[in-house]
A and B are shown apart, each in its own frame.
Chain A
């Protein structure tokens, strides 16, 4: 699935990394627990989370996730947006809750990024 389709399905606002909207992803991981993202998530997934601290972007980077979507209308700070630009990462924000995001994306064919 193209990231642009994900953005449209979730009615998400792009905050940085718009140049990656045509990139393809196969799976997604939804969590507010970064420890679990590092343990259980597959390569090349998108990350959906309600956390907006800088360790979210570091976690995504280490797990080879090129896109982070902030749910529940969470907005990261300007500093975090600058960090995403520096990391060449696509970040978006949606007013939908995590459950709704995962349901919509799963229904449209995006698999769970379950490493185990």
Chain B
């Protein structure tokens, strides 16, 4: 491992949600990662960060910079997703009104994370938590 960044994200804290993704983006720019990959990581990371603030009981977002790839992990301590296949469907959302008024909760977050990453894995257990791992190739 050459580099790792980790940020805690609290449930319902929409004042600071987005800060971690902005710091990740800035770091990738400083590391000279190509713009296309930076945008993909930024969008996937921000979707994950918002999901933590919206749905989770709290968690973290981490970025590992490896040789030839970036690994983004979004992990929380609950409440977990009972039906992952349903949650992965575009348009399915359990977000409340407050979130929708901010322009989120359209049920596009998880599919958009999958679409922006080169590899996507999600595991979840109700009552335990959810872990999403995304890989992005940086070799051109």
Contacts and interface: CB of A to CB of B under 8 A. Distances in A.
Interface of A: 31-39, 43, 49, 51, 53-56, 58-59, 61-64, 87
Contact of A38 (B14, B17, B102, B112): B112
A62 B21 contact: yes
A39 B40 CA distance: 11
Nearest to B24: A62
Interface of B: 14-15, 17-18, 21-22, 25, 35, 39, 42-43, 45-47, 50, 102-109, 111-112, 115
Closest 6 CB pairs of A and B: A58-B18, A34-B103, A35-B106, A62-B42, A35-B108, A62-B46
Q: Is the interface of A mostly helix, strand, loop or mixed?
A: helix
Contacts of A39: 108, 111-112, 115
Contacts of B18: 54-55, 58, 61-62
Contacts of A31: 103
A35 B43 contact: no
A32 B25 contact: no
Contact of A35 (B21, B39, B103): B103
Q: Is the interface of B mostly helix, strand, loop or mixed?
A: helix
A56 B25 contact: no
Nearest to B49: A58
Contact of B109 (A32, A35, A56, A58): A35
A58 B49 CA distance: 11
14 contacts: A33-B103, A34-B103, A38-B43, A38-B46, A38-B47, A38-B108, A39-B108, A49-B103, A51-B102, A54-B15, A55-B50, A62-B22, A62-B42, A62-B45
Contacts of B22: 58, 61-62, 87
A55 B43 contact: no
